[in-house]
């Protein structure tokens, strides 16, 4: 619930507050630039919270993973189910926030209807990353590091608040390595209606990331639970 309120607060504080002092970014008013990025980040946060704190609870405290694998369901099925649920939750939160930006009059193009697709691809990626951390987490405290070291820096430096071209070369490369950056670069043109072929590259990056990493959480959760 709170990770839904969060982006609205950002939209108000940064968009209307800070945005009043910023004239234009890439020929856009600041709030127009900002809102699409927050659509992506709200999906990221929803998925990441679900696949860390909540997955960890199901896995280690409620032991529902154990209950499920006592039926014809296998551990691979369980972990894939978690990834699908995390993805669904991300898409849901991102889409609800998209509706909010629509109400604020910040959606400029009918192509915005396609936004849930890149959100889904990104949410799969964040389900994978979060499940990996969860499979190694000794306790709840360790998720603090996950959000401080990985999720928050991504939120700040993936082109949501400012174009990453203003960053030093090295930091820009780091941003390029995050799923959030590529998603923002797809979602923003869809919402603003300035699509280009360069978006295909970002889609390719996300799909490649998923193909390369999808098996990892399956293996890691099994390593943790099955002795």
- Phi and psi (nearest 5°) for 41? -70, -30
Furthest C-alpha separation in the chain? 60
Is the Cβ of residue 66 or residue 108 nearer to another protein in the bound state? 66
**In the complex, minimum distance from the CB of residue 127 to another protein, in angstroms, rounded to a whole number:** 20
**In the complex, minimum distance from the CB of residue 195 to another protein, in angstroms, rounded to a whole number:** 41
Is the Cβ of residue 167 or residue 225 nearer to another protein in the bound state? 225
Is the Cβ of residue 71 or residue 139 nearer to another protein in the bound state? 71
**In the complex, minimum distance from the CB of residue 3 to another protein, in angstroms, rounded to a whole number:** 19
**In the complex, minimum distance from the CB of residue 190 to another protein, in angstroms, rounded to a whole number:** 36
Q: How far is Cα 34 from Cα 113, in angstroms, rounded to an integer? A: 18
Q: How far is Cα 112 from Cα 23, in angstroms, rounded to an integer? A: 25
In 73-137, alpha helices (H): 75-103, 116-136
Query: Residue numbers of the site for another protein (CB under 8 A)?
Result: 62-64, 66-74, 226-227
Cβ burial of 32 (10 Å; 0-12, 13-18, 19+) is: buried
Q: How far is Cα 5 from Cα 9, in angstroms, rounded to an integer? A: 6
Is the Cβ of residue 84 or residue 149 nearer to another protein in the bound state? 84
Is the Cβ of residue 68 or residue 167 nearer to another protein in the bound state? 68
| Closest of 114, 119, 124, 130 to residue 84, by C-alpha | 124
Terminus-to-terminus CA distance in the chain, angstroms?
A: 36
**In the complex, minimum distance from the CB of residue 222 to another protein, in angstroms, rounded to a whole number:** 10
């Amino acid at each position: 619930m709170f990770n839904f309120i969060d982006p609205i607060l950002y939209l108000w504080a940064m968009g209307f507050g800070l945005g009043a002092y910023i004239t234009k970014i890439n020929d856009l008013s600041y709030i127009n630039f900002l809102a699409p990025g927050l659509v992506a980040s709200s999906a990221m946060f929803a998925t990441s919270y679900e696949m860390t704190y909540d997955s960890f609870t199901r896995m280690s405290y409620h032991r529902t993973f154990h209950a499920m694998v006592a039926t014809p369901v296998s551990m691979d099925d369980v972990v894939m189910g978690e990834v699908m649920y995390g993805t669904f939750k991300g898409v849901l939160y991102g889409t609800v926030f998209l509706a909010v930006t629509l109400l604020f009059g910040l959606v400029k193009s009918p192509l915005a209807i396609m936004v849930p697709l890149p959100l889904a691809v990104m949410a799969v990626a964040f389900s994978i990353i979060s499940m990996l951390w969860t499979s190694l987490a000794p306790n709840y405290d360790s998720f603090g590091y996950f959000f401080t070291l990985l999720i928050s820096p991504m939120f700040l430096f993936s082109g949501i608040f400012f174009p990453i071209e203003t960053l030093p070369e090295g930091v820009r490369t780091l941003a390029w390595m995050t799923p959030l950056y590529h998603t923002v670069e797809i979602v923003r043109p869809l919402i603003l209606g300035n699509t280009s072929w360069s978006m295909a590259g970002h889609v390719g990056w996300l799909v490649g990331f998923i193909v390369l990493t999808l098996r990892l959480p399956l293996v890691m959760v099994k390593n943790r639970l099955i002795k």
